[in-house]
Structures are given as C-alpha cells and as structure tokens.
C-alpha cells in the first residue's frame, strides 16, 4: 500500500486510533486487495476529507456531522434525483411554464396590469403549474422508487442494514418533500410577482401553497402504501393506473376548491379551522407512511401497535375538528357527517385488522404487558386479529359516543342548532355503533376460517366485507319482493341491514326512527357477544422472558455507549 488513503488507515491504526483499530480486518488484510488501485487520493466522489486541516477541513467535518443526522435514504435519493433526467425535465418544464404564463399574463392584461389588480387571475395559472408538477410527478416518483426497491432486490440490501422499515419509508417521504420544496422554490419569484400585482393577499397565497403541499404529501404517502401492495408487474401497473386516476380526481377537486372557495373570497376565515383540516390530512400522511412501513417490516416485528396509536390520535383529531367546525358554523349536520365518516373509517380499518396474524412471534411476546393492570389497559394495542377487533370496537364506540355527546352538549347550550336533518346525534351514533359492531363482527366471523386455512391476509376480510355489505343491502329487498311482490319504497325496521338506505333516511328531513337505531345497536351487540367467545385465546397470551444472549447484548451496547460518551465522541 503506497497510496495516501491506505497509509492513513494504517497510520491511524498504528497510532492506536480506537475507531480504526476496532476494524481489525483492515489491519490484517491491509496488504491484500482485489487488484485495481490506480490513482492516488483524493476520492472526489466523496467530496469530504475528514483529515484535512484548516478552515475547509473544519467545514468538511461540520458538514459531515450535519449530514450524519439526516436519513441515509434522503441523502441517497437527493443525490440520485438531482442527477436524474426526470427531475431535470420536470424542473425545466416548470420553469418554462411559469415564465410562459407570466409573459402571457402581462401581454393579455396589458395595459390594465398597470392599473387594475390582476394578482388573482395570475395565481390561477401558478396554482395549476405547481399543483400539476407536485401532484402528478412527486407521488408517482415515490411510488416507482419504493416499488423498484422491492422489485429489483435492493430493498433486501437495505433490510439487512440498521435501517428500520419506518426509516426507509420515511426517507422516501422526506426525499419527496425535498423535491416538492425544490419545485416550490422555482415558482416563489412568480408568487412574489403575483402579490405585487395586487388583488391577492399574502395569507391567501400561503393558504394556496399549503393546500398544494398537504395534498401532494397525502398523495405521495398513498403512493408509498400502494407500492408495497404491488407484488409483480401486473398488479403494479393496475395500482399505478389507479393512483394516476385518483390523482386526476384530486387535481380537479383541489382546483375546484381553490378557485371557488379560496381565491374569489379573499379568504380571511379562521386559521384554526384550516389548521384542523390540515392536521387531519397530515394524520393521514403519517398513517400511510406507517402502513407502508408495516407492510415491508419483517413479520416477526410488532407491525401493529404503532398503527393503532396513530389511529387513536387520528380519531381524537377528527373529533376535535368536527366539534370545532360544528361549533364555529353552528351547523348540526357537521356532527352527523363526522359520526358517519368516523363509523366508515373504523369499519374500513377494522376490516384490515381482522386479517392480522393470530400467532405472535417470540419477539412480540417479549413486549406484551405483564401485570394485571397493564394487561387490562394495553392488550388491545398488541398485534392480533382479536385484539385488533376489540381495539376498533372500543375506540370506535368511544369516538362515536364523545362526538354524539358534543352534539348533545352543543344543542343544549344553543351553540349548535338543527338545520336540515332531524336525526339527533345520539340516535345517529347508536346506528353507527350498531353497524360497526354488527358488520365488523360478521366480517370477522366470515373471514376466520379462510384466515386459519390460508394464513394472515387482508384479502379474506376484504372479500368477507364485500359479501357482508352486499347481502346486508340486498336481503331486505329480496324479502320485500317475496312478501309484497315488489321492492318497498317506504323505509321500515325490515330495511335496517341496508346501510345505504338507513344513512339516506338518517340524513333526510324525516330522520331515522329511534327504534330502528336501537334495533341495529342490539343486533350489533349480539354479534359482538358471539365474537367475544373466540377472542379469549388471544388474551391468554403471556409475556415471555428476553433471552439471556439478548440481555447480554443489551448490556454490551450500553457499556459501549458509556465508553463512547466518556471518550467524548
């Protein structure tokens, strides 16, 4: 070894540098290599030379320390994407489109542009340019990036490093956000120009940009979840087409919202209202990222508890958002809308949870609650289809009760007044609770034999859900035809299993009869009771001891940490 780089390794080891000499292999095989060699240092591709002295050496080391704090995936993806043709083309197109729109706007508005505020009309174009590049490209790049890792075997190389599944997916998400920021930075001068043209407030511009950002983040996180579902090129193509279709719908919806609600009204509403809705959207970003991470994490890991915690907080955010919106608008309908979406949300989430593996790995069992009190409180947060069912039922029912309570309190205090609907929140909540207990219970019972036979999967609960919802809607119609010879056009207790009609009835001026809501709740409670019988096996699982070798390893780790902190590393 005659080169500078190699001699610095040997030199450091000889000097007793603990970091270098710790890598004993370096010392022993320093004289061997797989040929090659070639030019002397520097390693230009690495850019950093930690042994350099002087100011620039200090800058190198400071930069090094800073980048060490970043997610490695973010660093890699940033390097990759800044060199990629796709990024360069998109960035160039965005710049070109912004310039073109600016020139066109001035030409078409001249000479009025000197006298009349035209910022609002210019903002429409900039919104379109920024939203198309952020909605269309960033989520698709994120989808392709993770799908390619899983497809081409590079994910396995990542999986055997220290990176957890969460860090891998959040790294992908971070790099998507970085791309968004770069696109945004390209259009900032245009937005400043827009403000100077007058006719649009700074707050409105900030709000529009925030809407674009949060929507693009939700779409990107959704893209990441979908990419983990795609096993094989065919399914990947279908999911990609589905994502593109969804993006188109979102683009139009977002355009409609911004053009009709934000831009013309010179929005000056409550920041808390928008903040609450942004928080709901952000909670979905976190949920999707966590779901994607859970999908790619090893099956022996606890892949469920983190998701349950997020879902719990998501419900809290939802309840606060709906309560605030109903309170601030004085509109009773918000409560029932909130109850409906909360019920549907838990039905959907519960369906996925029913597909979890019922066998817990020894690794997960080490983390089970041990004492009677903690078992009472935290068993529901542990993985498993039974605990998942109970978690959804308990949390969902609690959320529905709280939200209905807010409605009742609002009516009593006069803060919320009834407008177009006649179903009081407690009746609506009882109906949603009944559906949650009943349908989710039936889905679980239908899916259980298939899960036992074919192992954990969300396909069996999904199929069971489709069957249950279809039968629930069609059976009353069949009974109608058998009894009356035609489908009844009058809603009655017989149609209680028809969720669509029941919801329609609940939102109609007639309102849902209280006795029907109670009937649905009682039937749901009956289905829950049947389910409880098969749940006990999961609750009997006990915590197991951490193996001695792992304890030893933990002790070694903390000892090393002490040594490192002692040496002031």
Partner 1 sequence: MIELQDVTRLFGTTRAVNHVSFMVPRGSVFGYIGPNGAGKTTSMRILATLELPTEGDAFIEGLSSVNDPDRVRRRLGFMPDAFGSYSDTNCAEYLDFFARSNGLVGRERTRRIRWVMDFTGLRSMAEKPITGLSKGMRQRLCLGRALIHDPSVLILDEPAAGLDPRARIELRQIIRSLAADGKTILISSHILSELAEMCDRVGIIEQGRLLANDTVAGLKGNSQTHLDLIVVIDGETETAKTILSQWDDVSDVVELNRTLQFRVAGNRQRQIEILHRLCDARVNVLEYRVVDESLEDLFLKVTAGKVQ
Report the interface residues with partner 1, using CB under 8 A: 1, 3, 5-6, 8-9, 12, 19-20, 22-29, 32-39, 41, 43-46, 48-51, 61, 64-65, 68, 72, 75-76, 79-81, 83-84, 152-154, 156-164, 298-300, 361-363, 547, 549-550, 553
Least distance (Å) between residue 246 CB and partner 1: 27
Q: In the complex, what is the shortest distance from the CB of residue 158 to partner 1, in angstroms, rounded to a whole number? A: 6
The smaller minimum CB distance to partner 1, of residues 33 and 420, is found at 33
| Cβ nearer to partner 1, comparing 151 with 422 | 151
CA distance 369 to 421: 45
Residue 54 host element (H or E): helix 54-68
For 321, the 3-state DSSP assignment is helix
- Is the Cβ of residue 13 or residue 217 nearer to partner 1 in the bound state? 13
Question: How near is the Cβ of 401 to partner 1 at its closest, in Å?
Answer: 40
CA distance 558 to 550: 12
With respect to partner 1, which residue has the nearer C-beta, 8 or 109?
8
User: 189 exposed, middle or buried (CB, 10 Å; 0-12, 13-18, 19+)?
Assistant: exposed
Residue with Cβ nearer partner 1 (170 or 336): 170
Residue 118 near residue 109, CB atoms below 8 Å:
yes
Degrees (nearest 5) of the Cα angle 432, 434, 440? 95
CB of 236 to partner 1, least distance (A): 17
What are residue 331's DSSP bridge partners? 417
Closest distance of CB 167 from partner 1, Å: 9
**β-sheet bridge partners, residue 417:** 331
Is it true that the peptide bond before 111 is cis, omega within 30 degrees of 0?
A: yes
Nearest Cα neighbor of 129 from 187, 206, 57 is 187
Strand-pairing partners, residue 533, are none
> Residue 61 CB, nearest distance to partner 1 (Å)?
7
Tell me whether residue 365 or residue 375 sits nearer to partner 1 (CB atom). Answer: 365
Given the complex with partner 1, which of 28 and 482 has the nearer CB atom? 28
CB of 555 to partner 1, least distance (A): 13
Give the residue with the Cβ less far from partner 1, 89 or 376.
89
Report H helices in 332-417. Answer: 333-353, 362-365, 372-378, 385-413
27 vs 543, which CB is nearer to partner 1? Answer: 27
Region of residue 459 (left: phi > 0; alpha: psi -120 to 50; beta: else): alpha
- The DSSP call for residue 360 is P
CB of 72 to partner 1, least distance (A): 4
Q: Please say which residue, 161 or 253, places its beta carbon nearer to partner 1.
A: 161
**Nearer to partner 1 by C-beta: 158 or 194?**
158
Contacts of 19 (CB under 8 A, 6+ apart): 12
What does the DSSP assignment read for 65-134? HHHHTS-HHHHHHHHHHHH-HHHHHHHHHHHHHHHHHHHHHHHHHTTGGGTS--HHHHHHHHHHHHHHII
**Closest approach of Cβ 568 to partner 1, in Å?**
13
Assess contact for 319 and 409: CB atoms under 8 A.
Answer: no
- Shortest distance, CB of residue 9 to partner 1, whole angstroms? 5
Measured in degrees and rounded to the nearest 5, phi and psi for residue 320 equal -65, -45
Q: Which residues, including other chains, have CB under 8 Å from residue 55's CB and lie 6 or more apart?
A: none
By the 8 A CB rule, do 105 and 121 touch?
yes
- Secondary structure class of 474 (helix, strand, coil): helix
| Nearer of residues 542 and 549 to partner 1, judged by Cβ | 549
Q: Which residue has the tokens 């968004």?
A: 180
- The alpha carbon dihedral of 440, 442, 446, 449 has a sign of positive
Residue 331 DSSP code? B
H/E stretch holding 464: helix 459-484
Closest distance to partner 1 from the beta carbon of 131 (Å)? 27
């Amino acid at each position: 070894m005659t080169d500078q780089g190699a001699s610095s390794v040997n030199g450091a080891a000889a000097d007793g540098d603990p970091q270098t000499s710790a890598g004993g292999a370096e010392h022993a095989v320093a004289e061997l290599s797989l040929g090659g060699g070639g030019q002397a240092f520097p390693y230009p591709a690495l850019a950093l030379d930690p042994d350099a002295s002087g100011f620039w050496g200090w800058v190198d080391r400071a930069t090094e320390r800073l980048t060490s704090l970043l997610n490695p995936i973010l660093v890699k993806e940033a390097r990759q994407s800044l060199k990629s043709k796709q990024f360069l083309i998109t960035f160039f197109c965005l710049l070109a489109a912004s310039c073109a729109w600016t020139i066109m706007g001035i030409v078409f508005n001249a000479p009025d542009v000197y006298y009349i505020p035209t910022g609002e009309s210019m903002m429409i174009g900039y919104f379109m340019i920024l939203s198309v590049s952020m909605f269309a490209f960033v989520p698709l790049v994120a989808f392709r990036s993770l799908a390619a890792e899983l497809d081409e075997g590079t994910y396995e190389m990542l999986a055997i490093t220290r990176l957890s599944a969460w860090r891998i997916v959040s790294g992908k998400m971070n790099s998507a956000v970085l791309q968004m920021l770069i696109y945004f930075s390209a259009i900032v001068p245009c937005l400043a120009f827009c403000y100077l043209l007058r006719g649009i407030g700074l707050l409105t511009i900030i709000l529009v940009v925030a809407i674009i950002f949060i929507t693009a983040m939700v779409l990107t996180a959704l893209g990441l979840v979908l990419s983990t579902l795609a096993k094989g090129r065919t399914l990947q193509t279908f999911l990609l087409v589905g994502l593109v279709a969804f993006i188109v719908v979102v683009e139009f919806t977002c355009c409609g919202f911004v053009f009709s609600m934000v831009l013309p009204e010179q929005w000056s509403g409550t920041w808390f209202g928008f903040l609450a809705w942004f928080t709901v959207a952000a909670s979905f970003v976190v949920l999707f990222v966590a779901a994607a991470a859970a999908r790619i994490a090893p099956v022996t890991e606890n892949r469920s508890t983190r998701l349950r915690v997020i879902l719990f907080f998501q419900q809290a955010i939802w309840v606060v958002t709906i309560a605030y919106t109903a309170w601030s608008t004085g509109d009773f309908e918000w409560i029932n809308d909130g109850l409906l979406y909360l019920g549907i949300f838990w039905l959907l989430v519960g369906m996925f949870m029913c597909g979890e593996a019922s066998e817990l790995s020894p690794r997960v069992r080490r983390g089970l609650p041990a004492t009677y009190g903690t078992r009472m409180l935290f068993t529901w947060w542990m993985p498993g289809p039974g605990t998942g069912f109970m978690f959804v039922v308990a949390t969902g029912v609690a959320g529905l009760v709280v939200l209905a309570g807010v409605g009742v309190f609002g009516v009593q205090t006069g803060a919320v007044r009834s407008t177009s609907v006649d179903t009081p929140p407690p009746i609506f909540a009882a109906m949603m609770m009944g559906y949650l207990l009943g349908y989710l219970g039936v889905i679980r019972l239908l899916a259980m034999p298939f899960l036992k036979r074919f192992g954990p999967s969300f396909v069996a609960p999904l199929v069971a859900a489709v069957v249950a919802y279809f039968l629930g809607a069609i059976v009353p119609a069949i009974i109608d035809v058998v009894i009356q010879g035609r489908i009844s056009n009058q809603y009655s207790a017989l149609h209680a299993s028809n969720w669509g009609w029941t919801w329609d009835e609940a939102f109609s001026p007639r309102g849902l009869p209280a006795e029907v809501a109670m009937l649905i709740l009682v039937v749901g409670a009956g289905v829950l009771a049947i389910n409880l019988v098969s749940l006990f096996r999961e609750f009997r699982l006990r915590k197991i001891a951490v193996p001695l070798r792992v304890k030893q390893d933990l002790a070694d780790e903390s000892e090393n940490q002490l040594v490192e902190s002692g040496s002031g590393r």
